[in-house]
């Protein structure tokens, strides 16, 4: 007898619920999964340069946070799962942004591609922005903790300044929009 694949009808099972695969919850979880996976690709490349160990370690911690966010979203905010993001998480990202930003002299728009490493961080930033846009629907409906959205917004900022930092460490000049 042929095995029945439960997702063939356009629905998926999550925390005991059957939801359409295009529901805002499933869309956000899928976007988070893509971001976590892409971070893994970027980490594998950044690990080749020991100067980027701090960024790699931060990306690993971020992957964990994003996976906790996905679990929280999947549970529809079940109190047993608990909010995955705290004010301390947001403050830590803001502090990291300030540190990296203080080393920058950029005053124009940066065109990604000066190095493969920084280009990958810019790609992560763009994907993170998409995740953030997906989260807005759930934020407006009160289905996610507002700190999740704030964290995603700060994360995209951190990814941006990290891309600039990488080129600075590698002594590669940015390509600017003139």
CA nearest 41: which of 107, 134, 133, 117? 117
Tell me phi and psi for residue 175, to 5 degrees. -100, 120
pTM of the model: 0.89
Output the pLDDT for position 92.
Answer: 96
Ordered per-residue pLDDT tens for the chain, 178 residues = 556 677 777 877 787 778 768 889 999 999 999 999 999 999 999 999 999 999 999 999 999 999 999 999 988 766 676 788 999 999 999 999 999 888 776 666 888 999 999 999 999 999 999 999 999 999 999 989 999 999 999 999 999 999 999 999 999 988 887 7
Per-residue confidence (pLDDT) for residue 79, from 0 to 100: 63
Domains of the chain: 9-176 (1.20.1200.10)
Q: Which two tokens stand for residue 96?
A: 């990291």
Q: How far is CA 97 from CA 69, 77, 78, 131, 155, in A?
A: 21, 28, 31, 19, 9
Q: Would residue 144 be called left, alpha or beta, if left means φ above 0 and alpha means ψ between -120 and 50 degrees?
A: beta
């Amino acid at each position: 007898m042929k095995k029945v694949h439960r997702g063939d009808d356009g629905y998926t099972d999550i925390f005991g619920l059957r939801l359409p695969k295009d529901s805002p919850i499933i869309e956000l979880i899928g976007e988070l999964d893509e971001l976590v996976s892409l971070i893994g690709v970027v980490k594998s490349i950044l690990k080749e340069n020991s100067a980027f160990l701090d960024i790699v370690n931060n990306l690993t911690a971020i992957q964990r946070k994003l996976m906790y966010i996905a679990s929280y979203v999947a549970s529809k905010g079940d109190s047993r799962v608990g909010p995955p993001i705290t004010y301390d998480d947001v403050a830590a990202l803001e502090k990291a942004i300030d540190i990296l930003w203080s080393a920058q002299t950029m005053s124009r728009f940066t065109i990604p591609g000066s190095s493969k490493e920084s280009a990958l961080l810019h790609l992560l930033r763009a994907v993170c922005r998409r995740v953030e846009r997906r989260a807005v629907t759930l934020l407006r409906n009160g289905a996610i903790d507002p700190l999740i959205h704030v964290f995603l917004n700060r994360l995209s900022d951190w990814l941006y300044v990290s891309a600039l930092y990488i080129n600075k460490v590698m002594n590669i000049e940015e390509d600017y929009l003139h």
